[in-house]
Structure 1
Amino acid sequence: MTNCFLIPIYNHHETIAATVQALLPYQLAIIIADDGSDQQTKQVLQQLAQQQALVDVITLPRNGGKGAAVSAALRHAAERGFSHGLQIDADGQHDVSDIPKFWQLSAQQPQALISGAPLYDDSMPRGRRIGRQITHFWVNIATLSRDIRDSMLGLRVYPLAATVSLLDSVKLGQRMDFDIEIMVRLYWQGVPVQFISTKVIYPVGGRSHFSMLRDNWLISKMHTRLFFGMLWRLPKLLQRKWAA
């Protein structure tokens, strides 16, 4: 296995340096996909790339959404010859102390998508909690299973060959709908999905780019696509369910 880190970023100049610093001890390449950030963030990224040989910054010409940034990072990692990429957010929400568990399980199951199952504290907004519960319901329907414990957390290890193959074969949502859709579609393709419980926080004063109107609309459309995609995959999914 040849591993790297993948960080999508949009205007998180306050937290990205600390996130990178926490990853440096692993001595793995850190691919940061700048999703059309502001000048302040670009300056911080430029400094990080100059100071840290492990940091590789790719820049999208305009803001395309989290999915666009992650997709660009996944493709870039595959082009550089990496086999697995661990996606982590730039805003400090994720518990980096759990990263060794992700790499360990990925080494044991290199064909699998390894994802975090979030353990939230009281800092999680009530509206986001309800939204996740709705998504869990529809993902269970799309997969005819409860195999996917959480599909929204952006802390996960992707097997790059299978993932880039999927990106080449279907157009996925490019914003906050991406994390959900790519996990369900990888599951449909037979990629095993494994979970590791991990703490997630909503930092005080943290900046969220989730748009309640736009992103909820995109996620609703995505669930509709996945529902109809499930219908014509129904025989295969039922066979998989009965064989489990």
Structure 2
Amino acid sequence: MDASASAEPGLQAAVVIPVYNHEEAIGPTLARVLEYGYPVLLVDDGSSAACRDELIRLDRHYGDKVRLLRLEQNGGKGAAVKVGLRRLLELGYSHGIQIDADGQHDLADLPRFMAMGAQHPQALISGYPRYDASVPALRYYARYLTHVWVWINTLSFRIKDAMCGFRLYPLARVVRLLDEEPCGNRMDFDPEVLVRWCWRGLPVVNLPTRVHYPLDGVSHFKAVRDNALISLMHTRLFFGMLVRLPAMLRRRCHG
């Protein structure tokens, strides 16, 4: 796995997949990603023995196409993504594309994300879900609470969906952001990093993509813990927005 292997001209891009106890889904998901020729970094977020062993098997099976990074303790999806993005930058990649391990993302859209990244190399390309009938109704409607807060905290509708984990990051910019600002380690990571990205005046491109729920039926969203973390995140971001409000208004007036 090296940075010269990107399948999109102009990008040195690789895929990062955070994995926590998705031993049934990760094999088919990984096989589909590799069909498109992109190198993959698997980040094992302290999985159980069954998932750990499956990831080791996949790493050995695919050789140089796949790299495995194991975290000894579960730190959450956000923590795994952050470690993965930093590692890709260290390896010399310019861009990292984040996808989920459970097979919910339409991987046929990978070339579209990469092509859009080549057109807008300094932008964060954020997936905008188009759901099929498999989406749980409660999850579908509940996520709009987060959307409303994101729109308030950015004073804009630039972000069409803040929860989708299918996105392409310019690595130098996002790692700098992560080094300079706090972002959540669990399910609060995806919306928070987008809000903080927008606060910096950095470009976002929303790309429609189909989403199917999920291949193995395993969800690691903990209703009490993660809703509490997301609520605290929105509160923290709201007060951060108030501090930044004069600068944000000036930017809007001169934008």
With structure 1 as the length reference, what TM-score do the two structures score? 0.97
Equivalent residue in structure 1 for 2:211, among 200, 217, 224: 200
* Structure 2: gaps (5+ residues): 1-10
Equivalent residue in structure 2 for 1:97, among 105, 108, 128: 108
Distance 1:61 1:189 in 2: 33
Show the counterpart of 2:42. Answer: 32
- Tell me by how many angstroms 1:2 deviates: 0.6
Counterpart secondary structure, 1:233: helix
Show the counterpart of 2:55. Answer: 45
Distance 1:191 1:81 in 2: 22
- Tell me by how many angstroms 1:204 deviates: 6.4
Asked if structure 1 preserves the Cα contact closer than 8 Å seen for 2:129 and 2:164, the reply is yes
Q: Which moved more, 1:83-92 or 1:23-32?
A: 23-32
Show the counterpart of 1:209. Answer: 220
Letter of the structure 1 residue corresponding to residue 207 of structure 2: I
Render the CA deviation track for 1:136-155: whole Å, top value 9, x for unaligned: 11000000001110010000
Show the counterpart of 1:237. Answer: 248
Asked if structure 1 preserves the Cα contact closer than 8 Å seen for 2:188 and 2:233, the reply is yes
* Structure 1: gaps (5+ residues): none
Give 4+ residue runs of structure 1 displaced > 4 Å after superposition.
none
Show the counterpart of 1:226. Answer: 237
Letter of the structure 2 residue corresponding to residue 8 of structure 1: P
Q: What does residue range 160-179 of structure 1 map to in structure 2 within 5 Å?
A: 160-179=171-190
Find out whether 1:141 has 2:152 as its counterpart.
yes
Render the CA deviation track for 1:10-31: whole Å, top value 9, x for unaligned: 0001011111111113322200
Identity of aligned residues (%): 51
Equivalent residue in structure 1 for 2:121, among 110, 115, 127: 110
Counterpart secondary structure, 2:140: helix
Asked if structure 2 preserves the Cα contact closer than 8 Å seen for 1:145 and 1:241, the reply is no
Distance 2:177 2:117 in 1: 19
Asked if structure 1 preserves the Cα contact closer than 8 Å seen for 2:183 and 2:192, the reply is yes
The alignment of Structure 1 onto Structure 2 pairs a total of residues equal to 244
Q: Root-mean-square deviation (CA), in Å?
A: 1.1
Counterpart secondary structure, 1:203: coil
Show the counterpart of 1:17. Answer: 27
Equivalent residue in structure 2 for 1:65, among 62, 76, 79: 76
Equivalent residue in structure 2 for 1:8, among 11, 14, 18: 18
